[in-house]
């Protein structure tokens, strides 16, 4: 019997994406032991410094609302690289920053607190993916590599792939140095994805969503299939954790996606 699935409280979704997915906010912590202080409320990051038992309780509460067991979750040790995992169930069994799968019994999960969480869905080939893109992963065009991996492993047409960008630090808040912008220039990104910071000579404001959007369209994703929630983690402390704003003393969000129920819904008569 298929367990009933629904969107969990405090989770953001993108209309038209077409697969079970979500981006958690700070809302919706475990009723008995939810995180407090810097980590309040739905902290899902074990490496954040929060109490392990509380984080585990938050994770179990979220998974219970979604109808998934831990044995069905695929998450990995994120290292700000460009490796794409096969998307098999397993808790932190390998180093990667993205995963793709055509299995309908898996929940792909990435963790973030300023980095760009990207979720992918090919509704034609029935493939999903998830990626964690900080500036290093973005400069390495990890987003484009996810699309090419979906095509190589599962036959996806990039023109069919839908991508949604979740809450992340936005261009007006993300100050970087020339050492970072030079990496983007060398990778072929247009200079429009960064601009001089008028308040800090020699510093720049980097637009990670714009950079990922460039990489995705370059990879063949149609602009109409690029969805962006447009939320800034740095600007909204009541809603989101931000590693930069809170100087590392903060929680972590999850972005998740699954094919469970997607194929059945697409093939349903009427």
Q: Give tens-digit pLDDT for 20-54.
A: 999 999 987 655 557 888 888 899 999 898 999 99
Is residue 91 predicted with pLDDT exceeding 90? no
pLDDT of the residue at 35: 83
Beta bridge partners of 121: 128, 162
Please give the average per-residue pLDDT across 259-264, as a whole number: 69
Of 33 and 18, more confident: 18
Residue 270, pLDDT score: 30
Is residue 191 very low, low, confident or very high in pLDDT (cuts 50, 70, 90)?
very high
Residue pLDDT, tens place only, 196-226 = 999 999 999 999 999 999 999 999 999 999 9
pTM for this entry: 0.93
Residue with the larger pLDDT of the pair 7 and 201: 201
Q: Can you give the pLDDT at residue 265?
A: 40
CB 108 within 8 A of CB 256: yes
Burial class (CB within 10 angstroms; exposed 0-12, middle 13-18, buried 19+) of 202: exposed
Which of 4-8, 140-144, 263-267 shows the lowest mean pLDDT across its residues?
A: 263-267
- Kindly tell me if the per-residue pLDDT of 9 is higher than 90: no
DSSP string, 42-92: ----GGGSS-HHHHHHHHHHHHHHHT--GGGEEEEE--SS--EE---SEEE
Q: Is 211 strand, coil or helix?
A: helix
The mean pLDDT value for 226-245 works out to: 97
Question: Which residues are within 8 A (CB) of 178 and not within 5 positions of it... i.e. 6 or more apart?
Answer: 202, 204
* Per-residue pLDDT at 126 exceeds 90: yes
Give the mean pLDDT of the chain: 91
Structure token digits, residue 32 = 């008995």
Predicted confidence band of residue 140 (pLDDT cuts 50, 70, 90): very high
Task: Tell me: pLDDT of 232 over 50.
Answer: yes
Q: Tokens 């308040």 correspond to what residue? A: 199
HSE on the CB side for 96, CA within 13 Å?
A: 26
Q: How far apart are CA 130 and CA 114, in angstroms?
A: 16
Which band of pLDDT confidence, cut at 50, 70 and 90, is reported for residue 3?
Answer: very low
**Whole-number pLDDT of residue 266:** 42
Res 240 pLDDT > 80: yes
User: Which stretches does DSSP call E strand in the chain?
Assistant: 11-12, 20-24, 73-77, 84-85, 90-95, 98-101, 107-112, 116-122, 127-133, 162-165, 175-176, 194-196, 204-206, 226-228, 253-258
CA distances from 173 to 52, 105, 114, 206, 207 (A): 30, 38, 10, 8, 9
Nearest to 244 by CA among 257, 234, 232: 234
Q: Taking 90 as the threshold, does the pLDDT of residue 155 lie above it?
A: yes
**Measured between alpha carbons, how far is 8 from 267 in angstroms, rounded to an integer?**
25
């Amino acid at each position: 019997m298929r367990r009933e699935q629904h969107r969990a409280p405090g989770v953001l979704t993108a209309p038209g994406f077409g697969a079970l997915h979500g981006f958690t906010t700070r809302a919706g912590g475990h009723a008995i032991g939810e995180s407090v202080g810097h980590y309040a409320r739905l902290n899902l990051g074990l490496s954040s410094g929060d109490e392990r038992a509380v984080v585990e309780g938050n994770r179990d509460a979220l998974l219970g609302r979604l109808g998934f067991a831990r044995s069905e979750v695929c998450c990995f040790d994120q290292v700000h690289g460009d490796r794409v995992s096969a998307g098999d169930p397993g808790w932190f069994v390998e180093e990667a920053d993205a995963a793709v799968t055509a299995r309908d019994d898996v929940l792909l999960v990435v963790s973030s607190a300023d980095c760009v969480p990207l979720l992918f869905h090919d509704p034609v080939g029935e493939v999903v993916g998830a990626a964690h893109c900080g500036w290093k992963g973005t400069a390495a065009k990890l987003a484009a590599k996810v699309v090419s991996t979906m095509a190589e492993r599962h036959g996806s047409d990039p023109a069919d792939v839908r991508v949604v960008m979740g809450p992340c630090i936005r261009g007006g808040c993300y100050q970087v140095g020339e050492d970072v912008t030079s990496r983007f220039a060398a990778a072929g990104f247009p200079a429009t994805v960064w601009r001089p910071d008028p308040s800090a000579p020699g510093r720049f404001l980097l637009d990670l969503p714009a950079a990922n959007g460039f990489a995705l369209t370059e990879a063949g994703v149609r602009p109409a299939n690029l969805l962006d929630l447009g939320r800034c983690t740095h600007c909204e402390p009541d809603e989101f954790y931000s590693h930069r704003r809170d100087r590392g003393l903060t929680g972590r969000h999850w972005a998740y996606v699954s094919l469970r129920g997607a194929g059945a819904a697409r093939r349903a008569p009427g």
